[in-house]
Amino acid sequence: MTEKKRILILTADAGFGHRSAAKALAAALEESHGGECAYELANPLDSERTPAWLRDAQSDYDRVAKEAARLYEFAYDVSDTGFASRMMENAMRVLLYRAMRDLVLRFKPDVIVSTYPLYQAPLNALFTLRRAFIPVVCVVTDLATVHQIWFTGDADLTVVPTEIVRDLALSAGIPLEKLSVIGIPVHPRISEETRSKPELRSELGWRADLTTLLAVGSKRVDRLDGILNAVNHSGLPLQIAAVAGGDDELFSRMRDREWHLPARLYNFVDDLPLMMRAADFVVAKAGGLIVTESLAAGLPLLFIDMIPGQETGNAGYAVAGGAAEIAADPVAALEIVYHWLADDGSLLAKKAAAAKALGRPRAAFDIVERVWALASRGLVRRDLAVAVAKVKELFGLFRETYEE
């Protein structure tokens, strides 16, 4: 009997996107190689071995991005340089080494997939000291504006979503043979659903005959409630499906509102891919995964918020491709929706076609096949001289950082 391949998928909970990508890969892996592998989805930042302040930084991400947007933007821009990225890599080698060591030694993977950028450096340090290199695949989860920390050069394969990001990776020194333009992984339910929108709406308890706006919020989205209020009083032939994304305050306000349009309200959902296939367009912030999932489902996007930095690039990519527009306030949002629905929705149909052209609904399966090939390759062992040289290089990086 052939021994099962062991695949470790690493993620983090700084926002929803990294974990959504990891779960999409796990689902595609289960579907395509479920009987041939054992896999685990893990977050090293949650380990007891990780310093408490670094564990807590995940939960602080939403608060800082929302309440201190300018500070976040400044920190993002300052850290997006070669010198700052090297400092971050060196810090992660130390701070995450023990957590990564415990996880790897316990699970004994044949290949490691990471949907979060801070894990490559500590993995490489672990492999170097043990002289045994497990193949690593890094999956970038933003569409255009990508921080340099993704491009450490420690991964055997870096999967990028677009040619724009491929060029950024090349500029950062990643060899072309270690890059693959595949896309951001989305859940298989998006690509495999074959039922019509009316059928799906009926299953969800929605009106089958109405154009459907799917609004997706979270604790980081400030403007959604005001825009929903404007649409609710518009008289447009619409129904609204609104997801608060775990924001209890937003969900409470939505429930307390007197709705003049048909509305289905949710706090947190597990079946967002199904809801996307049932909807006609999405109102959301420009997170990498919500943009990618919407494009994969052929849905136009109305952006109402974005985190400066990577999400600005996500929005720009979708807008440039003709699949999205940006609204600065409720009036602007309502004007865009009116335009999309005019002339029997002719502009909405064009936006939907553009979204479908940009989407990569099978990306998760394509990434899994690359991962599977690397799992079959197995460990690469280096002789002692090579390992010693690499360790010296690591210590040299520490010394260079502190001297500078």
Q: Give the pLDDT mean for 128-139.
A: 90
* Residues 179, 200 share a domain: no
Q: Are strands 301-305 and 179-181 parallel, antiparallel or unpaired?
A: unpaired
Mean pLDDT of 79-105: 75
Q: Give the pLDDT score at 245.
A: 87
Instruction: Say yes or no to pLDDT of 216 above 90.
Output: yes
- Confidence bin at 398 (pLDDT 50/70/90): very low
Same domain for 114 and 85, yes or no, is: yes
Confidence (pLDDT) at 131? 81
Residues 369, 348: one domain?
no
Q: Is 131 within 8 Å of 379 (Cβ atoms)?
A: no
336, 383: one domain:
no
Task: List pLDDT tens digits, range 382-393.
Answer: 554 444 555 555
Same domain, 172 and 252: no
Domain containing 137 — which CATH number? 3.40.50.2000
What pLDDT score was predicted for residue 85? 58
Q: What is the mean pLDDT of the segment spanning 62-70?
A: 50
Its domain, for residue 263, covers 192-358
Nearest Cα neighbor of 8 from 109, 142, 149, 126 is 109
Model pLDDT, residue 75:
47
Question: Rounded to the nearest 5°, which phi and psi values hold at 151?
Answer: -105, 65
Higher pLDDT, 139 or 57: 139
Give the pLDDT mean for 11-18: 81
Name the percent of the chain lying above pLDDT 90: 58
Secondary-structure percent of the chain, ordered helix, strand, coil, rounded to 5 = 55, 15, 30
Q: Look at the chain and report how many structural domains it folds into.
A: 2
- Say yes or no: 36 and 172 in one domain: yes
How does the average pLDDT of the chain come out, rounded?
Answer: 86
Name residue 283's beta-bridge partners: 215, 302
Q: In this model, does residue 305 exceed pLDDT 80?
A: yes
**According to the model, what pLDDT value does residue 401 have?**
43
Q: What's residue 184's pLDDT? A: 94
Could you tell me the pLDDT band of residue 94, with boundaries at 50, 70 and 90?
A: confident
pLDDT of residue 153: 81
Q: Is residue 43 a contact partner of residue 148, using CB atoms and an 8 Å limit? A: no
pLDDT at 80: 54
Q: Average the pLDDT over 240-260 and give the result.
A: 93
Query: Quick one: tokens of 43?
Result: 């977050």
Residue 331 and residue 290 in one domain: yes
Poorest-pLDDT segment among 73-77, 87-91, 304-308, 360-364:
73-77
First to last CA, the chain: 55
Q: Are residues 279 and 327 in the same domain?
A: yes
Are residues 179 and 94 part of one domain? yes
pLDDT, tens digit, 9 for 90 and up, residues 222-248: 788 999 999 999 999 999 999 998 889
Residue 91 has pLDDT above 60, yes or no: yes
CB-based contact 329:223 (threshold 8 Å): yes
pLDDT at site 78: 45
pLDDT value, residue 307:
79
Same domain, 349 and 203: yes
Mean pLDDT score, 22-45 = 93
Percent of the chain whose pLDDT exceeds 70:
85
Q: Look at residue 112 in the predicted model and tell me its pLDDT.
A: 96
Q: Are residues 319 and 301 both part of a single domain?
A: yes
What whole-number distance in Å separates Cα of residue 363 and Cα of residue 365? 5
Q: Do residues 245 and 165 share a domain? A: no
